[in-house]
Structure 1
């Protein structure tokens, strides 16, 4: 390093290990993103503008805490994921409901934005692996990509279930089948781990959105009629329990590491 080069702040990896519990919480958070946005905007009557502003402010505060952390902290990390899920949903809803942008267009725009993010990330860091999120720059690319995956997933899920009139159950089945194909390609045909991860990460968002709508929307609209309140609270409760498990596991692992 030259005397005038800017120092790079290295930390422990800021992202959790990808396990079955990781995907469970990811799936639950995507569903909460869909139902919580509907609950705040419609059920409580906040409207899209106020809901977006409030959730974006909370997300900004959570991201500050996440970037300040020197290691992966389950409660902080997953709080950011839940909030970014809500905000990503609201970005898509604002474009479609407030500005009248077609779902085909928002799906394409967010897909291009995600592709550009990955391109810039790889050009800068030469990797898209989540196992090396150890600098502020890599973490910035990581969270920007996550935001676009949620926004893209919301638009894609609504496009399939509502825009194409296939219904929430059919949409959920289609996206679940796509994830199964990614898993088959990875485990059966050795599709690269990084590509497999990001494909699955993108697809779990529209799957979660479709499941959320299926559970919360009225029977007249093709849902099961549980409502956004019940669905959001139930899924958040499970998320809190699993985050507690993550925290306990992390504490046990740290005690086993020699000082």
Structure 2
């Protein structure tokens, strides 16, 4: 799980975070996080926003307190364009749409979010990029930054993210489920999943910094590329 630096200057660093790596230390502090890795490299680093542990993609950290304040305010004021891609179960009725539904912590389950009138505003635009049998490859733009926002909103419209252990079906995606007459290799004891992590990727971040347009992009990881290739081949 080696993170890759996409871009850096004297003010901030943008990193391609792999799936399975925490963005920042959790309360237990037992797992290494991306922030821990960056602190080893830069000594000081400041959290601007975060990605879920199992979400891959582009994330930005500030190198000083002033940059941290400026970037945090830009996120808060919705002056940062945030684009994600993800694989969902099923195909939405409409090829594009907006989910404008408040999100609130679940009253009975710690660490879980849900929709509710008393929640904070949350807006997600979605577009169906490609229909792949009983799945759809999606593009999302989020205009707010609520915890688990895309995952909660996709569950709300009945199309949860593939391999979402909290809001959908945690079962891995297997080639045997999409390929007819699938036969496991004689040398393999069990089938290796095509995908066994949350199928969500933070693809792009765009904002203006000191009169310069900054566009940061993280290419799709190998596991998501391979999954799409197999779906296109067999569905």
TM over 0.5: no
Q: Select the structure with the greater relative contact order (CA < 8 A; seq sep ≥ 6).
A: 1
TM-score after normalising by structure 2: 0.28
Whose helix proportion is higher, 1 or 2? 1
TM-score after normalising by structure 1: 0.26
Whose strand proportion is higher, 1 or 2? 2
